[in-house]
Amino acid sequence: MNKNLSPVPNSVLVRGSNGFVPLIILLVITLLTSIGIGYYAYKNGQIKLPSQEPTQKSENSIGIGFGLSERTLPFLRYLTNANDFVDLMNITKSSDLITNANEKSIQTVCIARSLDGLKEIAALAKEKEVICNYLGYNPEDREGTPEEELNDFVGSSQKAQQTVQSYGLKLVNGPGLKYISKQEENYAQAAKFTDIWLIQTQGLTIDKKTNKHATPEEYNQSVKRVADMLRSGNPEVKIWAQIVLTPGGVEAAQFTPEEIVAYIKSVEGTVDAVRIYTTGTPNFEDILQKIINLLRPS
């Protein structure tokens, strides 16, 4: 034996049938054997790699909402985001639908067009034993909202908040587009009494005279202008934007799913959620499905 070579310490030798074998060799053999067994198991389907499907949307991503009805019931399974919601006006006929949304822990907004209506809805919800996470105040310049409420929107918003808070709930303020557009100076003041503001943006997506559709950039600028006014009065207010699939129910003005998705993506960071308004769109289910598929591919 060459005296210049250091002997292998006994601590790293094990006795084999033919004498001592360096322990490191056994470790290498064991490792290679394990790799081979693992590869065989993978090839034969006994080991599954982690799924490569897209992960669920972050709670901070833009939410999706729509009116709750028998026709939209199948779409509830897609509302898994913390900012998602459904809304409705008629609790009396729809308590079973609300229960369905409650069981899936989806935020539910119960809407009224008057202050007295808010009280009636809260009482009905208690009677029907359903959960309305929010009460929605939807004053419109038409039948359903008393004139005295229309004449004092800021004061009415404050009373709406007081009513809603008395039931331990939060207020969604969603005034009609034509009505509020005549008094933009009241955005900031009314926002002080609001938890969530729903901007009806149908007039911001299309030129009614020409039916020309706004670009996503133009749409975001218009929505941001209103959002900035609201946040100047209440920096904590959450904002939802309502997008109408078929403005005015005019088929020629109908948006494609791709256009709606482009609008929605343009306001990410400007609003917290979008409400997709389906009324006036025949067979809206196909369009809504495509929109959801584009926004949340599975």
pLDDT tens digits, 196-242: 999 999 899 998 888 889 999 999 999 999 999 999 999 999 999 99
What was the pLDDT predicted at 93? 79
- Cβ proximity of 150 and 190 under 8 Å: no
* 114 and 239 assigned to the same domain: yes
Calpha distance 117→82 (Å, rounded): 27
Q: Are residues 43 and 67 in the same domain?
A: no
Helix (H, G, I), strand (E, B) or coil at 252: helix
Asked whether residue 45 falls in the same domain as residue 87, the answer is no
Which structural domain, as residue segments, surrounds residue 245?
63-295
From the CA atom positions of the chain, what is the Rg in Å?
Answer: 30
**Co-location of 187 and 219 in the same domain:** yes
**Span 96-119, pLDDT tens digits:** 999 999 999 999 999 999 999 999
| 56 part of a folded domain | no
pLDDT, one tens digit for every residue, the chain (298 residues): 444 444 444 444 444 444 444 555 544 455 455 545 444 443 443 322 222 333 343 455 899 999 999 999 999 999 999 999 999 998 887 889 999 999 999 999 999 999 999 999 999 999 999 999 999 999 999 889 999 999 999 999 999 999 999 999 999 999 998 899 999 999 999 999 999 999 999 899 998 888 889 999 999 999 999 999 999 999 999 999 999 999 888 887 889 999 999 999 999 999 999 999 999 998 999 999 999 999 998 7
Residue 105 shares a structural domain with residue 188: yes
Is 27 found in the same domain as 134? Answer: no
CA separation for the pair 130, 126 (Å, rounded): 7
**Residues 26 and 164 occupy one common structural domain:** no
Rounded Cα–Cα distance for residues 232 and 196 (Å): 14
Domain identity same for 5 and 132: no
Q: Which helix (H) or strand (E) holds 131?
A: none
Taking the C-alpha atoms of residue 169 and residue 173, their distance in angstroms, rounded to an integer, is 13
Residues 6+ apart with CB under 8 A from 256: none
User: What is the C-alpha separation between 241 and 205, in angstroms, rounded?
Assistant: 11
Contact 286, 269 (CB under 8 A): no
- One domain, residues 8 and 126: no
